[in-house]
Every structure is written in C-alpha cells, then in structure tokens.
Amino acid sequence: MSTSSLTERYVDEVVRRLPAAQRDDIGEELRTTIADTVEAREAADPQSAEREVLTEMGDPVRYAARYTGRPLALIGPDLYPAYIRLLVLLLSSVLPVITTVSVLVELADSGDVGAAVGEGVTTVLTLGAQMIAVLTVVFALVDRLRSRDGAPARSAAWTLADLPEPRKKDKVGIMDALGAAWYALLISLTVWQHVAKPYGADGHGGGKAVEVLDPALWSGWIWPVLLGLAAMLALSAARITVRGWTVRLAVLNAVAQAVFALPFAWILQHRMLFNPEFLKTAGTDALTQEVYSGLAVIVLVLGASAVVTGFRSARR
Amino acid sequence: MVCVAHYGVFVSVEELTLAQAHELRRGTVVLACLALLREPSYGYALLETLNGAGVSVDGNTLYPLLRRLEKQGLLTSEWNTDESRPRKFYRVSPDGSLVLAGLVREWQDLSATIARLTKENG
C-alpha cells in the first residue's frame, strides 16, 4: 500500500459525504493540511507518521459531519422529547385499546379463548413493532429535513400543561400489593390445577379429570418458575415494608425475574406449557408456534422492563 | 488526591477542573482565530500558532470552523499556489473585524464581571 493512497482514501471518504460543490476545495485543503502535519512531525518514517496523523483525525464520517453540520444521531435532542412522549402515548394507550378491541371481536366471532389470545398476541407484536418503526422513521426524516435548512425549528413547544401530576407515594404500595396478590394467585392456580385436576377430558364433566398444564412440568421446569414467582411475591412484600426500592431489592428482583422468565419463555417456546390431553379436548387450534413464540417474547420483554424499572426506581 | 462522587463514579478534582476549563476555553477559539487572521494564514500554520499561544484546539475542530466562519462571511479566503503545496489562506473580512471588535468588548466585560464576582465571594 503506497503512502499517498492512505491519505487519498481518507480524503475520498470525507469528501464523498460533502455537497458536490465543496468537494474539490475541501479535499485539496485537507490533503495539504495532512501533508503539512505529517511533515511537521519530522519522523524518520513518514509512512508511520501519516498513519498516526490520520488515526488522530478519526472517523471520516464524523469528520465530514463537522463540515456539513449533519446530525450524527438518528433523532436529535430537539425532537427527542416529543418522540419519546408520542411513543409512550401510542404504546401505553392506543396499542392496549386496539388490542382489547381485536381480542373482543375475535372472541365474539369464534368464541374460542385460544384464538382470542392468539389474536391479542399477534396484535401487540405486529402493531407495536409497526408503531415503533413508523414513528422512528418519521422523526428521523423530519430531523434530517430540518437540519438541512440550518435553522433548528422548535418542536412542539413545552408548556406547563405538560407537567405530569405528582406521583403519589402510596401508589408504590398499592402497585406492590396488587403485584403480590397477582403472584400469589398465579402460584395458587398452578398448584390447584395440579392437585384438583379441574378439567373433564371428555367435555361432559363425567370423564377422566386432567390438568390444564402439562404434568410433565412437575418433574422439571415448573420448579424454577414457581421459585421465581415466590421470590417476586416475597420482594413485593419487602418493598411494601421498606416503602420503595433499594439497590439490593433491585438486584434480587433482577435475579427473581430471570429465574421466572427464562424458564417460562423456554416452556412457551417449546410448547410444553399445556397438557396435550387438555388441548385435544379443549379444541383450540389457534395456539400456533407463532403465538407461543410471541408469548415467550412478551414474557422476556416484560421481565426485562421490570428489571430496568427496579434499578431506575432504586437510583432515585 | 481529593475525589468527588459524580453519579457514583469517582473523579478527581483535577480532572473536573480540566474538563470545566476545556468548556470555558472552547468559546474563545473563534475570538482567537479572528484576532490572529488579521494577518492571512492557512490551516496548519494557524493551528500551530493557536496551540503555541495556549489556545489548545484540534485540527478536527479548527478546519471545519474556518469553513463555517467563511460561509458566514467573517473570513475570506484565497488559494496561494506559489509554494510547494497549494494552500488556502484565510483572513478576516470587514464584517469579521466588526464581530471581532464586539467579541473583544464582550471578553473585557466578562473578565471585569468575573473579577468583581470572585472578589466579593473570595
């Protein structure tokens, strides 16, 4: 590799990102400047000096951006608050509403609970992904179009009306109490359906009683799931007593979430959750592999977000 | 060494001072450039002069800055092909001189203000 080709390649990499009218001028100046800098090092080996100089100048993409003022972020600081606000609004209100409607419609249509759950999962995943993707693309485009003009226009101005209501201290306690009740319910239901075998396999109540969940789980995967649930139950109780999060609780929460969510997602993904006999007689064929995978992804995402929430709350 | 807790990471006071001083100096590069370019000069020579005078600045920052000032009409430029390499020489425009005068006034005001503030609280 000849010495000159390194500089040439660097200059090319910079100028091809500049407006065509400026390329020759900036390229010529850059070449001279690099040559001046290399010469001033008075190195015995000019080739290694050139390498040094170019390395110090850094990424050509970054360097070109300094000339054009083009943003190096997908969505810049001007638009970021509006982007996050809109994203949270869409995902926390519009998405649940549409999902609920589509689940109800499917339920009224077919009367099949499995199909309705499948519809809900599909809606959350596809519509949620579309919302995120479209919003991101639109904001990124707007950011680029604006910064070309030079003058950064104010995004939707913030007013006092945007201030959220103060968070109530008691809310933490109520949410944790609800959480604890939910985990206790899940544990009880799991154990109850194992002991009581509530489902009549022939559909007339008189036949063989079977479990809803796969009995094979009890010789393996159900234990970490139950252990994780029990740990989360204990942690909810602990948060109620200490009135909030601590770093230690957040760490324990992360462990508990992992102990619960990873095996549970694995069970879902490999279709090991439900008793085959139960599925045969319940007559739901809507629980396809896609629905199971979707549920597994949702379990993992919810677990991860619970871990993040724990750490962020503990930091405050 | 004195250390300060900074978002849970310990940073020495020396490092913090250096970082803050860097922020302070950053705004002075334009002023220094306009002052120096009352005499025409080219990129690398200007960089050397600035660094020699204690205004530490990267080429990565300086060369695009010169272009920006030229675009704003504060500098004019001319290619000089007399020497071994063609060099782009910059110098302040009449507008640039006016901005320079304004910045110098601003600098003196700031300096006086800071002197007063530090005296009162000292």
pLDDT per position as a tens digit, A7-17: 999 999 999 98
Delimit the domains of chain B by residue range: 28-121
pLDDT single digits (tens) B10-31: 678 888 998 888 888 888 899 9
The set of residues, in sequence order, having a beta carbon less than 8 Å from that of A183 and lying 6+ positions away, is A229, A230, A232, A233, A236
Q: How far is CA B5 from the centre of its chain?
A: 31
CB-nearest to B60 from A28, A29, A57 is A57
Chain A residue whose CA is closest to B89? A29
Q: Does A302 touch chain B (CB under 8 A)?
A: no
Largest CA distance in chain A: 97
Rounded to the nearest 10 degrees, the angle between the axes of helix A60-68 and helix B59-71 is 20
ipTM for the complex shown: 0.78
Mean pLDDT of A24-37: 91
Chain B residue whose CA is closest to A59? B60
Q: Are B75 and B122 in contact (CB under 8 A)?
A: no
B4: confidence class by pLDDT, cuts 50, 70, 90? low
Please tell me the distance from the alpha carbon of residue B52 to that of residue B63, in angstroms, as a whole number: 17
Q: Is the dihedral of CA B4, B6, B8, B13 positive or negative?
A: negative
Selected for mutation to probe chain A from B42, B46, B51, B63 (highest A CB count within 10 Å) is: B63
Please tell me the distance from the alpha carbon of residue A305 to that of residue A311, in angstroms, as a whole number: 10
Q: Residue A219 above 50 pLDDT? A: yes
* Residue B113, min C-alpha distance to chain A (Å): 31
Mean pLDDT of B59-79: 91
Q: Does B44 touch chain A (CB under 8 A)?
A: yes
Please tell me the distance from the alpha carbon of residue A201 to that of residue A199, in angstroms, as a whole number: 6
First to last CA, chain B: 23
CB-nearest to A32 from B48, B61, B85 is B85
Instruction: Please tell me the total number of residues recorded for chain A in this structure.
Output: 316
B116: confidence class by pLDDT, cuts 50, 70, 90? very high
Q: Give the bridge partners for B18, in sequence order.
A: none
pLDDT single digits (tens) A79-108: 888 899 889 888 888 888 888 888 888 888
At B1 the pLDDT is: 47
- Backbone φ, ψ for residue B79 (5° rounding): -80, 130
Strand duo B87-92 + B41-42: pairing: antiparallel
Q: Does A25 touch chain B (CB under 8 A)?
A: yes
At A169 the pLDDT is: 58
CA angle A215/A217/A221 to nearest 5° reads: 170
* Residue B68, min C-alpha distance to chain A (Å): 8
Q: Are A155 and A82 in contact (CB under 8 A)?
A: yes
Q: Does B59 touch chain A (CB under 8 A)?
A: yes
Which helix (H) or strand (E) covers residue B41, if one does? strand B41-42
Q: Does B90 touch chain A (CB under 8 A)?
A: no
* Residue B114, min C-alpha distance to chain A (Å): 31
Mean pLDDT of B53-58: 84
Please tell me the distance from the alpha carbon of residue A58 to that of residue A66, in angstroms, as a whole number: 12
User: CA separation (Å) from A297 to A103, A309, B38?
Assistant: 19, 18, 65
At B121 the pLDDT is: 61
Tokens found for residue B71 = 């675009």
pLDDT single digits (tens) A240-277: 777 778 888 889 999 999 999 999 999 988 888 888 87
A73-77, A159-163, B41-45, B82-86: which has the minimum mean pLDDT?
A: A159-163
Q: Are A187 and A260 in contact (CB under 8 A)?
A: no
Mean pLDDT of B70-96: 91
Does the beta-carbon distance from A58 to B87 stay under 8 Å? no
Chain B residue whose CA is closest to A35? B85
Burial class of residue A248, CB neighbours in 10 A (0-12, 13-18, 19+)? exposed
Q: Options 1.20.120.340, 3.40.50.720, 1.10.10.10, 3.30.565.10; which CATH number does B28-121 get?
A: 1.10.10.10
As a whole number, the mean pLDDT across chain A is 83
DSSP B78-122: EEE-SSSS-EEEEEE-HHHHHHHHHHHHHHHHHHHHHHHHHHHH-
- Chain A residues touching B29 at Cβ < 8 A: none
* A155 or B83: which leads in pLDDT: B83
- Chain A residues touching B41 at Cβ < 8 A: none
Q: Does B71 touch chain A (CB under 8 A)?
A: no
User: CA separation (Å) from A69 to A73, A196, B69?
Assistant: 12, 69, 13
The set of residues, in sequence order, having a beta carbon less than 8 Å from that of A106 and lying 6+ positions away, is A112, A115, A116, A119, A120
Size of interface A-B (CB pairs under 8 A): 41
Q: Are B36 and B50 in contact (CB under 8 A)?
A: yes
Selected for mutation to probe chain B from A17, A18, A66 (highest B CB count within 10 Å) is: A66
Chain B residue whose CA is closest to A22? B67
Does the beta-carbon distance from A36 to B85 stay under 8 Å? yes
Does the beta-carbon distance from B48 to A40 stay under 8 Å? yes
- Chain A residues touching B86 at Cβ < 8 A: 28, 32
The shares of helix, strand and coil residues in chain A, as percent rounded to the nearest 5, are 75, 0, 25
B7: confidence class by pLDDT, cuts 50, 70, 90? low
* Residue A293, min C-alpha distance to chain B (Å): 39
First to last CA, chain A: 55
Burial class of residue A42, CB neighbours in 10 A (0-12, 13-18, 19+)? exposed
Selected for mutation to probe chain B from A29, A59, A315 (highest B CB count within 10 Å) is: A29
Q: Which long-range contacts (CB under 8 A, 24 or more apart) does B19-27 make?
A: B25/B55, B25/B56
Q: Are A36 and B46 in contact (CB under 8 A)?
A: no
Please tell me the distance from the alpha carbon of residue A124 to that of residue A298, in angstroms, as a whole number: 9
At B103 the pLDDT is: 94
Q: Are A32 and B87 in contact (CB under 8 A)?
A: yes
